[in-house]
Amino acid sequence: MKPIIKNIGIVDVAFGKDVIIVEPVNLYGCTIGDNVFIGPFVEIQKNASIGKNTRIQSHTFICELVAIGESCFIGHGVVFINDTFRDGSPAGADQNLWKHTNVGNRVSIGSNATILPVSICDDVVIGAGAVVTKNIDIAGKYAGNPAILLR
């Protein structure tokens, strides 16, 4: 029996100027600002947006409903989540249960961090491996699981 193979690649993306992409990637239905770098093995889903001058390193997953500001750095293997399993199981196709994530400007997120549906203000550094479970409203450096303000 043959498997069903779906190749996404780059489909229906609004690109700004001077974008650099290192394939393979899956980008579909998203918006990418000017001067953005996207490393290999990155997936950016529909209804996500990436602000200008942002760098996204390899193996990062940016799901639907994520907005990343300008001049950000997203490290290797960062995962954004839009489904909190509110009812104890995956929301599946019920997008009414999905939530938004907003990342401000000049935010750096370290490798292997996990970002739940939150808002992150401008000028924040999130350490490698951190798990952001609550809104971040104060600029500073955060680390841990759950992530807390260090300084």
Domains and CATH numbers, the chain: 10-149 (2.160.10.10)
Rg (CA), the chain: 15
91 CB burial (10 A radius; 0-12, 13-18, 19+): middle
CA torsion angle 43 45 49 55 (round to 10): 0
Beta sheet of 10-11, edge-to-edge order: 10-11, 25-28, 42-44, 61-62, 79-80, 114-115, 131-132
Tens of pLDDT along the chain (151 residues)?
A: 999 988 889 999 999 999 999 999 999 999 999 999 999 999 999 999 999 999 999 999 999 999 999 999 999 999 999 988 888 888 887 888 899 999 999 999 999 999 999 999 999 999 999 999 999 999 999 999 999 999 8
Q: Can you tell me which residue has the tokens 């209804």?
A: 47
- Who's near 1: CB < 8 A, 6+ residues apart? none
Q: Tell me what pLDDT residue 84 has.
A: 87
Q: Which two tokens stand for residue 7?
A: 């190749």
pLDDT at 95: 84
